[in-house]
Structures are given as C-alpha cells and as structure tokens.
Structure 1
C-alpha cells in the first residue's frame, strides 16, 4: 500500500513541478515580451528603425496574454500537487523544541494526532474545492482575458487536493497503527526540521 501512495505522491509532485516550471518560463517570456514591447515603442527605436519595430509589434511581441490568470490557476494546482509527497515523506516543517525530550511513545501519539488533523483539514479543503467548482460550473464564470471557465482551475486544484486527502488519510491510519502498536511502519526522519 505504501508503494502505491508513495508512487502516486511522487507522480503528483513531478506533474506539479512540470506545471511550475512551465509557469516560470511563461512569466520570463511575458516579462521579456513586455520589456521588448516597451523598447519597440520608444521614440528612439521608432525614429531609427520604424519598419522593423512596427513589424515586430505587429507579429505580437509583448507580454503573454492572460499570464496572471494562468499563473493563478497553475500555482494553485502546483501547491496541491506537492502536498501528497510532502505528507507521505513527513516533509512538513516541524519545530520540535517542546517534543524532542519526550519518549518515543508520546511522540508517536503526537504524530498520530497531527496526521489525523492534517487528514481532516485536507478532506475539508477538498470538499470546499468541490463545492466551489460546482458553484463556478453553475455560474458559468470565465476569466477576464482568456475567457476560460474558472471551474477548470478548481478542477485541477481539486485533483491535487483529493490525492492529498487520500494520502493524508493513509498516513493517519499508519500513524495510528504505529501509536497503538509501538512499531515504526514508515520512517519519520525524512521531514524538514527547523
């Protein structure tokens, strides 16, 4: 079971990383296009090479249309895509000042409580995203510039949130078994500590 959830989490993280990388490239292209567009409109360039400047402007040199709309939708998905991997590898940042001195069993109990709370919160988030998506489908809302339906962004985020919720429930079950048996089923040493 662990292999399935770990593989699914890793796949989501890779897909989220791909989307995030594409967004970074798009933002860089948009910023370069916006700068070049401003340069081509400059009086000096229009005076020196008006034909070339106007030709470049006519072919569409400028910012990516709707870049902020794409970034908004893509970043939301990327965040939810990274959550399952973070959850299954115990990658959430922890501050263990008050718990490092505790024996192993109370620490296992604390990990169980935290995983259960994470699972509840991620389930609530997924349910709310589903309700938000249904509302956007009914209203027919679209983005301002690109005119794509807003529910598409909700659907992408919901996919990531649903996987995150499933992984969180799995981890809550694992940590509960660990707390009541005293065994270690999944190592907790992969997390980030601050």
Structure 2
C-alpha cells in the first residue's frame, strides 16, 4: 500500500513539472493579455463593431417593437378608461331610471291602495245601509207582531183571568163555578 501511495505522489510531481514547462514557454511577460497594448487595436475594432451592431439592432428592431407595444398598451388603457367611464355613466343613468320607476311604482301602489280602500269603504257603506234597511223592516215587522200579540193577549186577559179565578175558587172551596159567573164577578 505504501508503494501505491508513492506511485501516485510521483505521478503528481511529474504532472506539476509538465504544467510548469507549458507556463514557461509563453515568454512569461507577466501582463494580462486584455491589458496588453499590443492587443488594443483588435479589441477596439471588435468593441466598435459589436457596439454598432447592437445599436442598429436596438434602434431598428427592438426599440420600435417596444415602442409599438407601449403605444398599443397606452391606447388600450385609454380605450378601457373611456369605456369604463361610459359604463359608469350608463350605470348611473340606469340607477336613476330604476329609482324613478321604483318611486312611480310606489306612487301607483299607494293610489291603487287608496282607490281600493275608498271603493271597499263605499261598498261596506252600501251593504250596511242595505242591512240597516232590512233590519228596520224586520224591526217594524216584529213590532207589528208584538202589537198584535199584545192586543190579542189583552183581549184574552179577561178570559184567562176568569179561568184562573175559576180554578182558584174550585181549589179553595171545592165548588165548581161557571165561567160566566166568574166574569160577572170580575167586572
């Protein structure tokens, strides 16, 4: 195991030496290549080429599309706001119409109720008057009948009194008295 570890260490050392050989071959100037003045002209060329390409793409393709989108959204928002304000006005008008129709309906209902009440009151008064007339006729008929019964009763009172006296005399004395004798005694 110790030998295997030694073999690995030797291999790592050899790899490090090979890496050092490659690093030493570029001359070891020590300047980072993007900051090396020898590369400035090519870097400036590619910078300006990329800048103008991006500028053209932005100014001719992307920004017009973004501008159209912004303008379209702005007009859509303005249309939506106009439509919302129109709908709000319509809703307010509908609410006013509803309120007016509700007030009219209430007024009509009150008028109908009042008219119905008046017609029912008039009908009740008519029926009461008819019932009073019928009751008056019945009362007159009853009074007439009562007068007839009273007259008959007064007419028969002598006969009834005579019969009662005859019954009393018969009960007290035990004698039978004639009805004519009782009547003459009463008169």
Q: Please report the TM-score for the alignment, with normalisation by the length of structure 2.
A: 0.24
Q: Whose helix fraction is larger, Structure 1's or Structure 2's? A: 2
The one of the two structures with greater contact order (alpha-carbon pairs below 8 A, sep at least 6) is 1
TM-score, scaled to structure 1: 0.23
Structure with max Cα Rg = 2
